[in-house]
Structure 1
């Protein structure tokens, strides 16, 4: 039975210990990934409930860091949630999570 990551065409899927295709959040080794409803691995911005997360090109969720996307800076906390309408390290972020001067 196949388990772990599987690439089909240009999409990545994760097969759990039972060989079933995972959907939703999956922790693989020490990183979190988000698998869409059809099972393919997400990258970029993902909204889960009312919270935004950012997934690297590898699919791994960013956490506890500032990062730049399209010339805008964002901060995600330890759980990977985008900081909005708050101050982080003395820097304000708006309702979209963008750093503001």
Structure 2
């Protein structure tokens, strides 16, 4: 990307038409990757309040553009858990809470994990 002065953007953020992008040391725009906890969509735009899929794994970018790590996030009324790498977990149990195949916390629902059935109460606990 060349700025208005014709200079190539390197190792820096650029806001282009109200969207943030990051350009590496070679001036290449990042896309479908995570850099310093920020996640970039296929278009290269920094994701904000958005789901991004990279290598068959789902991540969520918060309003700041950073991914969620080691925590629960309530997204559009549904709870999801993200591991230390920011990957959304699915078909598992985290701290006694049941997570379905689509990544959503189960509530008053049955979920099959490794040939065993589990039931989650309204709070999501098994």
Q: Same fold (TM over 0.5)?
A: yes
What's 2:46 paired with?
A: 21
- Maintained 8 Å contact 1:2/1:15: no
Residue by residue over 1:77-100, the C-alpha shift from the partner in whole angstroms, topping out at 9 and shown as x without a partner, is 11101101123344432221011x
Could you tell me which runs of 5 or more consecutive residues in structure 2 were left unpaired when the two chains were aligned: 1-27
Q: Which has the higher contact order (CA 8 A, sep 6+)?
A: 1
Residue by residue over 1:30-55, the C-alpha shift from the partner in whole angstroms, topping out at 9 and shown as x without a partner, is 10000001101112101111211111
Pair member with larger Rg: 2
Q: Structure 1 runs of 4+ off > 6 angstroms? A: none
Give the TM-score normalised by the residue count of structure 2: 0.64
1:78 and 1:90 map into 2 onto residues whose CA distance is: 13
Match of residue 57, structure 2, among 31, 34, 37: 31
Could you tell me which runs of 5 or more consecutive residues in structure 1 were left unpaired when the two chains were aligned: none
Give the TM-score normalised by the residue count of structure 1: 0.78
CA RMSD, Structure 1 to Structure 2 (Å): 1.6
**SS of 1:59 mapped into structure 2:** coil
